[in-house]
Structure 1
Amino acid sequence: MLGAIIGDIVGSRFKWNNNRSKEFDFLTYKCSVTDNSIISLAIAKALLDSKLDYSNLSENAVKHMQGIGKHYPNCGYGDLFRDWIHSDNPTAYGSYGNGVAMRVSACGFVANSLEEAKLLSKLVTVVTHNHPEGLKGAEATAVAIFLARSGKNLLEIRDYITKNYYPLNFTLDEIRDSYEYNESCQDTVPQALEAFFESKNFEDAIRNAISIGGNSDTLAAITGGIAEAYYGIPTEIRKHAVTFLDERLLMILVEFENKYPSKMEKVNADGSVGIGRSRETKVKTGDRNAMIQSSVETADKELKDSIPTNEETTSQQLFNHLFEACNILRGPINQDEYKSYVTPILYFKRISDVYDEETQDALERSGGDEEYASFPENHSFDIPEGCHWQNVREASENVGVAIVRAMNGIERANPDTLSGVFSSFDDANWTDKTKLSDERLKNLIEHMSKIKVGNTNYSADVMGDSYEFLIKKFADLSKKNAGEFYTPRSIVKLLIMLMNPQIGETVYDPACGTGGMLIEAIRYMKGDKLTYGRIYGQEKNLSTSAIARMNLFLHGAKDFKVTQGDTLRSPNYHEGGKLKTFDCVVANPPFSLKSWGAEQFSSDIYGRNMWGSPSDSNADYAWLQHMVKSMNQKTGRCAVVLPQGVLSRGGKEGEIRKQLVESDKLECVITLVGGVFYSTGVSACILLLNNEKKNDHKGRICMIDASDIYTAQRAQNIMTDDDISKVFKFYNDYKDVTEKVKVVTIPDVREKGYTLAINNYIEKKKQEIVPPAEARRQYFEAFDEMLEAEETMRNLLIEGGYVNE
């Protein structure tokens, strides 16, 4: 019910000023209630006042649409409906206008069956819109709401609609540029339904509806009612929306939802979850302020009660709060840029909160000695005067300048640990008031001030996991460059499991991105103190390297080295003129990198071209050789993700692959399903190398085909923990499994021209050969069954009068 009202309110400012994009401020002071909401609530009131058998529903619909409608003469009624409201003898006027579809959402929420949804829709429709198209549009909307409420999935609802109402043979992208303002049901309801069918959550559904232009408020009202029934309404949107209703309208909504409980939507990293309100939960009635306060308190309580008190959910809570900061920036800031603002502001808040904790601890230890509490040795970081979070919070104007001054001051005061962590985000322009007004920045600062993010507020795991959710969300929003920014966590876990770092060993990632590999390695080694000073990473992108450092700090890592620079052109870690070597080398470098410095690599001073120099159009084998050269000669292991092309391409790569095989360092090759990595459809593989293979692994390579070990999801294939456990078991067992694993020898690979393409080695199940006589018998048997079925169908059609004999 409220979903339709929200759609109307959000769409109100776009009705005569279409926005053909999903990027806009959702609920603003420019929004208002229109006829869609007013008449929808009038129908809700009619349902509340009707008899159990609804015998007086049509009468009540007329009564309340006229009675309530007259109080809002300038809310956008069409001419015919306005005349109907003021008529002493209101009768149906043959309309098929879309207004009838926007007002029936309450019918879908009240109905106890599909047939009842259709009946209620008809009873409130025929009093004005008795044209078949009007009846159909209203019924389709009420039916979709009932089906969504009843637990049907998107495909089931879509299937029912297309079979019984409208052929949805278009997508929003196909119609967005050409769709125009239209007041008919037949050219509004299908588009509103498609906006729901292409959605990912409640808010996304509303944004879909508005993005195609047209009659925006009515479109979004129809979509919003269905989306609420399916997803529920997010708490923050609900709390904001009720403030747009006056006392009369809010009273009807409260009474309706107290009788027909609503649903809350919780959006998390994996999607959204709808949680129904208990029938015992009631919003208090009274004056407008009392109802708004009760509505807000009830919504907050529902959200709080829905969250179990465990660390995983606490991480989710924190993530939700952090991602809400993105919503504050939405509009003037492109979603690709969210990470450049939210990441440094979170870290600034974190540093200030930790500093406050350390100050309080020092005060308690010293009996309140403030001078002692300010000593640098009592703090992880130094915060100069005027650079604390509270100083920025107190700024009344030029808030962006205050933010930049504080961040720069903290960087300069901590050159060894925090150099560049804020200034690396050079695409964040805090002081541009045309993009970020003081008011918006103050809203952001106040939003972040609502939570403490110090060490005593969240454990390192909770803080780190919530930040990991945030990084993944940034990758979801910006798929263009996401592959270089974020490696799916399950793949990271598999790589570390394969490499098996031991406590006290060194770990190095030459293309560390946001630091996920290094964090997983630390977690694998249980964060032991012996990991301190043994974690190394290098990342070319300046802001991403800053995120990696923040990510490691937020996960509780200590004494690590993450530096910025181009690893292939200028590796940062060396000893005595040679590359520094490590026990474990792990990476997911950028696939098939072009213009990477092949000429310089061909005469590399570190000898990283020991097997050859790849062409400048593809750096895959340059990364591999850099990693091999970085492996400790005795204990070194390497796990790297590369595109599957490295397994079979010829030319220079073929020669390098030959040297790789003959070196007997290659221990395992794993091919993965396509689509598990962001921003690329290229199928990937994992190569596992070892300078000290087990005796029974020497001279052998384990080939694992994991291309069908995955879990399909709507937007992207993923590998779950169960999936990676299966792959890891294949590696651990190191033995042949038909159609899955083949352990080959170096002579086997040599014989096949050094290709590592797994299909050349994996044994397939023998296909059963059906003798020609049996195949012929099966064919004619099926043919006879077909003829018999056709005859049966023809007789049924004749019997039903559909065809002539």
Structure 2
Amino acid sequence: MTDQHVTRDIVQKLWGLCNVLRDDGITYQAYVTELTFLLFLKMMQETKREDALPKGYRWSDLTKREGEGLLTHYRALLLKLGTSGTGMVRDIFTDAQTSLRKPTNLSTLVSEIDKLDWFSARREGLGDLYEGLLQKNAGEKKSGAGQYFTPRPLIDCAVRLLKPQSGEIVQDPAAGTGGFLVAADRYIKDATDDLFNLSPAQQAFQRTQAFAGLELVLDAHRLLLMNLMLHGIEGAGVAVGDTLSPDGERLPKADLILTNPPFGTKKGGGRPTRSDFSITADTSNKQLAFVEHVVRSLKPAGRAAVVVPDNVLFEDNTGQRLRSWLMDLCNLHTILRLPTGIFYAQGVKTNLLLLQRGTTDKGNTKSVWVYDMRADAPAFGKTRPLTMQDFADFEKVYGSDPNGGAKRKDQGEEGRWRCFTRDAIKARNDNLDISWLRDTEVDVEEHLTEPVDIAAAIIGHLKAALADIENLSDELEPDSVDEAVAVPEAAE
């Protein structure tokens, strides 16, 4: 059995244990968090790195206890590691608490985890296990699922296109649980014989300084740190914080940014509080503000891949100003129109922007190439997940140059791959929502069969409509309180 099959088998067994815990009031998300605490302790043992944990508070100290004594010690362990641990261990377990109330349930988790085939799964460790569990969680929840989960095939596609290099600073300003950062790290390790081709100083840089970012949600940040640490990324500069606040200004300038920022508006209609923002300072639209961050955070000649919803491409006023500014400062060389249904309950229409920061501040975009992966696409969802093969044709026409400089050929109105000059885009008032093939989204949704996929499509349409209303209200900027219209906050 291959490592990949072993990992999938372990994920399935671990997910099955969730049924045991339902009578303890454990939700799916709480279960993933609970399980990750235990997986972290087990993997520290498997990778012989338990010297980072205080004696008496390691995996073996759980396996030799039973009943109420086990649960009592587990609670003490979480407190100890969160207060007396060192470095990333302390950060991971800060304010950690267990949702388990029944000792028998904790005992079941510990014994079942201990029996799994860790020898075969050791190479990938918690990283792939966690991402598999998160994907399971996204597929099981009926709404709001997967808000931190970007499909692995999309992440890997972006990484293959932009080719992270050793010695570069890679940033994700909306890091979630670390999917983009872990994939970039894996790409670099594959190209450097697991870093052995690098000097000791270069190896230290990759482990401690190469990756940076912020994550707003504490629980996601906790899991992110576990994920990074068990992939050999230590002392990572990925903190808890809000990128649209002064926290974002303190991030180091990046050679490469890979990110899938949150969609919607800031809570309470708040605006970014960045002193360096000029284009999006007066909007509560988070996706527009994150694009400004990406441009400002790139080094000259730095590159980025950013997932954005359609409204970033066509919105007037602030949106139009942002696109014009971006195309002046950057070479926006490629837009990939992504199919719907790939973000589970987030059924919004999305795109992957691929760009390079210029070394001057004017006229960097000469033309934009657009690949339409949305038209005539399969009905993606639980029964038809996104795969690496789905990106094969796009990667072929994109070419080997990470900055879009490879030889390209326009496929014309019948093809998926077309080029639009900067002048042609200017004639469209810098509207980049460009399509020429018949949009068969409605036809695709008619063929959905899984209730979870149908619900996701409905929720996606409702969220998109609500976001449009909020953005319109935000842009109108009423002159008086009497004219203001209260709009409920969009779900994130």
With structure 2 as the length reference, what TM-score do the two structures score? 0.76
* Structure 1 residues 506-546: Cα deviation after superposition (integer angstroms, max 9, x where no partner): 10000011100001111111253363220112111101011
| Contact 2:88–2:235 under 8 Å retained in 1 | no
Change (3 A) 1:674 1:717: farther
Query: What secondary structure sits across from 1:678 in the alignment?
Result: coil
Q: Counterpart of 1:408 in structure 2: which amino acid?
A: L
1:350 Cα deviation after fit? 2.2
Per-residue deviation at 1:642?
A: 0.7
What is the match of residue 408 of structure 2? 734
Match of 2:104 in 1: 439
Instruction: From 503, 506, 510, give the equivalent of 2:173.
Output: 510
Change (3 A) 1:337 1:663: same
1:406 aligns with 2:77: yes
Structure 2 distance, partners of 1:460, 1:573, is: 36
Q: Distance in 2 between matches of 1:676 and 1:699?
A: 31
SS at match of 2:185: helix
| Residue 285 of structure 2 is aligned to residue 593 of structure 1 | no
Equivalent residue of 2:263, what SS?
coil
The Cα offsets for residues 405-424 of structure 1, whole Å up to 9 and x where unpaired, read as 11222333333121232345
In structure 1, C-alpha distance between the alignment counterparts of 2:340 and 2:41, rounded to whole Å = 38
Q: Percent identity?
A: 25
Provide the residue aligned with 1:521 in structure 2. 184
Match in the other structure for 1:311: 3
Distance 1:678 1:573 in 2: 32
Deviation at 1:590, TM superposition (A): 0.9
1:705 aligns with 2:372: yes
Q: Which runs of 5+ in 2 are unaligned?
A: 196-202, 400-406, 439-492
Aligned to 1:639: 305
Separation (CA, whole Å) in 2 of partners of 1:678 and 1:425: 28
Identify which of 32, 35, 38 aligns with 1:342. Answer: 35
| Deviation sequence 1:204-257 (CA, Å, 0-9, x none) | xxxxxxxxxxxxxxxxxxxxxxxxxxxxxxxxxxxxxxxxxxxxxxxxxxxxxx
**Alignment partner of 1:583 out of 240, 244, 255:** 255
TM-score by length of 1: 0.48
Q: Partner residue of 2:221?
A: 545
Is 1:515–1:537's contact at 8 Å kept on the other side of the alignment?
Answer: no
Indicate how the Cα distance of structure 1 residues 658 and 446 shifts in structure 2: closer, same or farther if over 3 A, else same.
same
Say whether the 8 Å CA contact 2:170–2:211 is kept in structure 1.
Answer: yes
User: What is the match of residue 166 of structure 1?
Assistant: none
Contact 1:498/1:688 (<8 A) preserved: no
Instruction: Please name the residue that 2:320 is paired with.
Output: 654
Letter in 2 for 1:471: L
Q: 1:558 to 1:476 in 2, by over 3 A?
A: same
- 3-state DSSP class of the match of 2:164? coil
CA apart distance, 1:708: 3.4
User: Which of 207, 211, 220 in structure 2 is aligned with 1:535?
Assistant: 211
Alignment of 1:275-286 (within 5 A): none
Q: What secondary structure is seen at the aligned counterpart in 2 of 1:484?
A: coil
What is the correspondence of 1:76-155 to structure 2 with a 5 Å cutoff? none
Q: Distance in 2 between matches of 1:709 and 1:493?
A: 23
CA contact (8 A) 1:318 1:466 kept: yes
Change in 2 beyond 3 A, CA 1:550/1:492: same
Aligned counterparts, 1:734-773, within 5 A: 734-738=408-412, 739-759=415-435, 762=436
Which residue identity does 2:351 align to in structure 1?
C
Query: SS of the residue aligned with 1:758?
Result: coil
Q: Which residue type is aligned with residue 726 of structure 1?
A: D
Aligned residues: 411
Look up the equivalent residue of 2:281 and give its one-letter code. Answer: S
Asked if the contact 1:702/1:734 (under 8 Å) is kept, the reply is no
* 1:499 aligns with one of 152, 162, 166: 162
The offset of 1:559, in angstroms, is: 4.3
SS at match of 1:701: strand
Q: Specify the SS of the correspondent of 1:536.
A: strand
Asked if the contact 2:283/2:318 (under 8 Å) is kept, the reply is yes
Cα deviation code 1:245-301 (max 9, x no counterpart):
xxxxxxxxxxxxxxxxxxxxxxxxxxxxxxxxxxxxxxxxxxxxxxxxxxxxxxxxx
Looking at structure 1, the residues matched to 383 and 326 of structure 2 have their Cα atoms a distance apart, in angstroms, of 33
Q: 1:718 offset after TM fit, Å?
A: 3.4
1:328-356, Cα deviation, whole Å (9 max, x unpaired): 213332234221211112112223444xx
Residue 753 of structure 1, CA deviation: 1.1
Residue correspondence of structure 1 range 317-396 to structure 2 within 5 A: 317-332=9-24, 333-354=26-47, 357=48, 380-385=51-56, 387-393=57-63, 394-396=65-67
Tell me, in whole angstroms, the C-alpha distance in 1 between the residues paired with 2:269 and 2:304: 23
- State the AA in 1 paired with 2:323: R
The residue aligned with 1:255 is: none
Flag the 1:598–1:322 CA change in 2: closer, same or farther, 3 A: same
Residue 425 and residue 668 in structure 1: after superposition, are their counterparts in 2 closer, same or farther (change >3 A)? farther
Partner of 2:348: 682
CA distance in 1, matches of 2:42, 2:138: 23
Structure 2 counterpart of 1:252: none
**How many Å separate the matches in 1 of 2:315 and 2:83?**
49
Contact 2:338/2:350, CA 8 A, preserved across alignment = yes
3-state SS of the aligned residue for 1:511? coil
Distance 2:91 2:143 in 1: 25
| Alignment match, 1:419 | 90
**How much has 1:706 moved relative to structure 2?**
1.3
Code of the aligned partner of 2:30 = E
* Structure 2 counterpart SS, 1:571: helix
Question: Following the alignment from structure 1 to structure 2, what is the Cα–Cα distance between the partners of residues 664 and 573?
Answer: 19
Residue identity matched to 1:564 = V
- Contact conserved, 2:164 with 2:256, CA < 8 A, in 1? yes
SS in 1 for 2:175: coil
Structure 1: distance between partners of 2:246 and 2:268? 11
Aligned to 2:447: none
Preserved CA contact (<8 Å) 1:670 1:687? yes
Following the alignment from structure 2 to structure 1, what is the Cα–Cα distance between the partners of residues 218 and 126? 23
Asked whether the 8 Å contact 1:424–1:542 carries over to 2, the reply is: no
Q: Is the 2:6–2:120 Cα contact (8 Å) retained in structure 1?
A: no
Q: How many angstroms apart in 1 are the aligned matches of 2:142 and 2:186? A: 27
- Is residue 214–residue 240 contact of structure 2 (8 Å, CA) maintained in 1? yes
Aligned to 1:629: 296
Which protein has the larger Cα radius of gyration, Structure 1 or Structure 2? 1
Q: 1:395 Cα deviation (Å)? A: 3.8
SS of the residue aligned with 2:52?
coil
Are residues 502 and 597 of structure 1, via their aligned partners in 2, closer, same or farther at CA, if it must alter by over 3 Å?
farther
Kept in 2, the 8 Å contact 1:701–1:744? The answer is yes
Give 1:641 shift: 0.4
Structure 1, unaligned runs of 5 or more: 1-308, 359-378, 431-435, 765-805
Aligned match for 1:615, one of 271, 283, 288: 283
Which aligned pairs between 1:148-187 and structure 2 lie closer than 5 A? none
Alpha-carbon spacing, 1:483–1:388, altered in 2? closer, same or farther (3 Å):
closer
419, 426, 429: which is aligned to 2:99? 429
Deviation at 1:392, TM superposition (A): 2.8
Whole-angstrom distance in 2 between the partners of 1:424 and 1:498: 39
Q: Is the 8 Å Cα contact of residues 711 and 719 (structure 1) preserved in structure 2?
A: no
Structure 2 residue aligned with 1:721, among 379, 388, 408?
Answer: 388
Tell me the alpha carbon deviations over residues 641-668 of structure 1, each in whole angstroms, 9 at most, x when there is no partner: 0101111111221222222233343121
Alignment partners' CA distance in 2, 1:621 and 1:673: 21
Quote the Cα distance in structure 2 between the aligned partners of 1:585 and 1:658: 20
Cα distance, 1:591–1:407 mapped onto 2, change above 3 Å: same
Give the superposition deviation at 1:500. Answer: 2.0
Q: Which amino acid in structure 2 is aligned with residue 613 of structure 1? A: A
Query: CA contact under 8 A between 1:705 and 1:758: conserved in structure 2?
Result: no
Which of the pair has the greater relative contact order for Cα pairs under 8 Å at 6+ separation?
2
Alignment match, 2:478: none
